[in-house]
Amino acid sequence: MRLVPVLSALAMVLLGFVLGFSVPASMTPNLQCGVLPWSGSGAANSSSSESSFLGRLWAPLFRNSSGTSNATSGIARRPEGAGRLPPGIVVSESDLHLRRLWGSPSQDAPVRKYLLTMAVGYKERANVNATVQKFSDKFDVVLFHYDGHTTEWDDEFQWSKEAVHVSARKQTKWWFAKRFLHPSIVAPYDYVFLWDEDLGVDNFTAEAYIDIVKKHGLEISQPGLDATKGHKAYDVSVKRNSGEMHKTDAGGQKCPDVHQRPCSG
């Protein structure tokens, strides 16, 4: 019943992103989930292929990972016109953690290690609530609303009041992710979860999952899905009983060309 036999984490250097684009909406469980570790905090071992993948995805403002640049000092290269600002005003990174508008700094909740983001519709709120409950207080939560309902969540769920809400009608989670999960904003987090609203989470435990991901140094992964419940889009996403994780590497048989499907879409 524990997580380990139930979930098999999948390393899909590129495939994880493909799944999000190619899965019809009617499936349960849907395959559009993914976890992106962020190498900025040093938790994940970022090899060249993975960082170049993220670099491509976030190309325009991805911070220089050579490690010798000034970005590592925590102060961004000053934009044109910022010359008169005092030090500390221009920084290279921030996060999605809520700050107090008034009161004492001691009232601030501690900074979180992980980020949970979901594109949600109000109709799926019961499952979203169940999902959020599965993620501990080590997570900042961001909800992307595609149906225009936002304030209703606060009325029903206490946790919603501490979540960030972004609303844009009829957009996909990738639309939101590309625009609101900017590298400089997610950099402080060890792992970023880009989760589906309709995943069954009965047998899921977030921290145990992260332990597996860390242990195997997975850059992009998703929990293995139970093929008996819902539609299978890719073999690699189906849970196997052969161990705690299995993976497909870019360049392998399943993904000979990273510019073609199913490695990119």
Binding site residues, ligand NAG, CB under 6 A = 1, 6, 45, 47, 64, 66, 68-70, 129-130, 133, 156-157, 200, 202-203, 226
How far is it between the farthest Cα atoms of the chain? 61
**Shortest separation between residue 38's beta carbon and ligand NAG, angstroms:** 15
Nearer to ligand NAG, 18 or 220 (CB): 220
Give the CA-trace dihedral at 68, 70, 71, 77, to 10 degrees. -150
Identity of the residue, 174 or 204, whose beta carbon is nearer to ligand NAG in the bound complex: 204
CB of 129 to ligand NAG, least distance (A): 4
Which is closer to ligand NAG, CB of 69 or CB of 136? 69
**Helices of type H across the chain:** 3-6, 15-22, 48-57, 125-134, 151-156, 173-180, 183-186, 206-215
All residues at 6 or more sequence positions from 186 whose CB lies less than 8 Å from its CB, including other chains: 36, 38, 95, 96, 115, 192
- Output 178 or 215, the one with its CB closest to ligand NAG: 215
- In angstroms, give the least distance from the CB of 157 to ligand NAG: 6
Nearer to ligand NAG, 23 or 130 (CB): 130
Q: What is the dihedral of CA 126, 131, 134, 137, to 10 degrees?
A: -100
Q: CB of residue 55 vs ligand NAG: minimum separation in angstroms?
A: 7
Shortest reach from residue 165's CB to ligand NAG, in Å: 17
